[in-house]
């Protein structure tokens, strides 16, 4: 009996967790569950399960149980464990950038990279079995601009379409540049609604990002109704804006300006169709 336990106790426990609808656990939980087993033995048992594609460590001391449908890949989609992972880190979060855009209908933007925005300080990226989880740190998490989405394992928090659009511009270096951001915003425009452009959001978002978004909506992807709503709310909040570059970190002298959005057009934006 003891011999059988020494080989199968951890797998039996993880199978039982799955039966209860739980697909994650921590190293500490495993050690606490089996107090009569040494930590070293638990570590070795976890390594054996990992080698068999039964579990995978996606963060220090945090494990995801591989369900049968993902056995060959050896990795569960991050959407199915990200809420548990972020609760374990104690960091408020939301699924953002390209991952949020995909959930809002920008289907061709799906990628092997998953994007999570969380409260600073930033976490290091996780790369496991061909999946990369990018962690983007920010000072505050704007709960009022998040949506709840149901998954097979519970609920996740996702940036709403407007916050997604602003984040794509603010963190464009994380996704491949401003052209990629504008391409995704072109798709997001289909689900952007006038009621998203509230005084509260305008107060929250950096003015320069609102200017860049307005310029893209107005001049690049030709969404006049959305652009005019943004322009109206911005003017109500801010009587004057500073002239700002379309592309940060590039020279501004010698380039034309858009008089309406006060944007220095120091780069040419190309939309991928």
Which sign does the torsion angle of CA 166, 169, 174, 175 carry?
positive
Give span(s): CATH 3.30.460, the chain: 78-264
Residue 2 has a pLDDT of 38
Residues of the chain with CATH 1.10.10: 2-70
Does the structural domain 2-70 have CATH classification 1.10.10? Answer: yes
Q: Low-confidence residues of the chain, pLDDT below 70?
A: 1-7, 107-111
In the sheet that holds 131-138, the strands lie side by side as 126-128, 131-138, 113-119, 93-95, 154-159, 146-151
Q: Residue 239: its pLDDT value, please?
A: 85
Query: Cis ω on the peptide bond leading into residue 121 (within 30° of 0)?
Result: yes
pTM of the model: 0.93
CA–CA dist 27, 39 (Å, integer):
9
Q: Residue 109: its pLDDT value, please? A: 57
- Please give the pLDDT value at position 129: 87
Q: Do residues 130 and 168 touch, judged by C-beta distance below 8 A?
A: no
Residue 113: CB partners within 8 Å, gap ≥ 6?
98, 99, 131, 132, 133, 134
The gap from C-alpha 224 to its chain's centroid, in whole angstroms, comes to 28
Alpha helices (H) along 104-254: 161-170, 178-188, 199-204, 207-215, 224-237
What pLDDT is recorded for position 1?
Answer: 35
**For position 11, what pLDDT does the model report?**
94
Q: Specify whether the CB–CB gap between 152 and 220 falls below 8 A.
A: no
Q: Distance between alpha carbon 39 and the CA centroid of its chain, in Å?
A: 34
Strands 126-128 and 62-65: unpaired
Count of all residues that appear for the chain in the document: 273
- In CATH terms, 78-264 corresponds, of 1.10.1070, 3.40.50, 2.60.40, 3.30.460, to 3.30.460
């Amino acid at each position: 009996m003891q011999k059988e336990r020494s080989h199968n106790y951890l797998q039996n426990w993880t199978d039982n967790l799955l039966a209860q609808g739980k697909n994650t656990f921590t190293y500490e939980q495993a050690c606490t569950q089996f107090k009569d087993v040494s930590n070293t033995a638990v570590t070795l048992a976890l390594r054996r399960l990992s080698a068999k594609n039964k579990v995978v460590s996606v963060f220090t001391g945090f494990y995801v149980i591989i369900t049968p449908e993902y056995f060959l890949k050896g990795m569960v989609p991050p959407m199915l464990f990200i809420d548990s992972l972020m609760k374990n880190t104690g960091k408020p979060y939301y699924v953002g950038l390209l991952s949020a855009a995909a959930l809002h209908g920008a289907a061709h933007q799906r990628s092997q990279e998953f994007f999570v925005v969380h409260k600073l300080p930033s976490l290091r990226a996780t790369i496991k079995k061909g999946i990369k989880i990018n962690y983007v740190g920010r000072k505050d998490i704007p709960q009022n601009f998040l949506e709840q989405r149901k998954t097979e394992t519970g609920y996740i928090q996702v940036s709403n379409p407007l916050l997604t659009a602003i984040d794509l511009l603010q963190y464009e270096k994380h996704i491949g540049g401003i052209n990629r951001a504008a391409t995704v915003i072109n798709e997001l425009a289909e689900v952007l609604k006038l009621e998203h452009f509230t005084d509260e959001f305008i107060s929250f978002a950096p003015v320069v990002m609102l200017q860049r978004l307005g310029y893209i909506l107005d001049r690049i992807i030709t969404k006049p109704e959305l652009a005019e709503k943004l322009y109206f709310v911005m003017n109500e909040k801010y009587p004057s804006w500073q002239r700002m570059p379309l592309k940060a970190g590039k020279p501004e002298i010698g380039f034309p300006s858009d008089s309406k959005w006060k944007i220095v057009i120091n780069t040419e934006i190309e939309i991928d169709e």
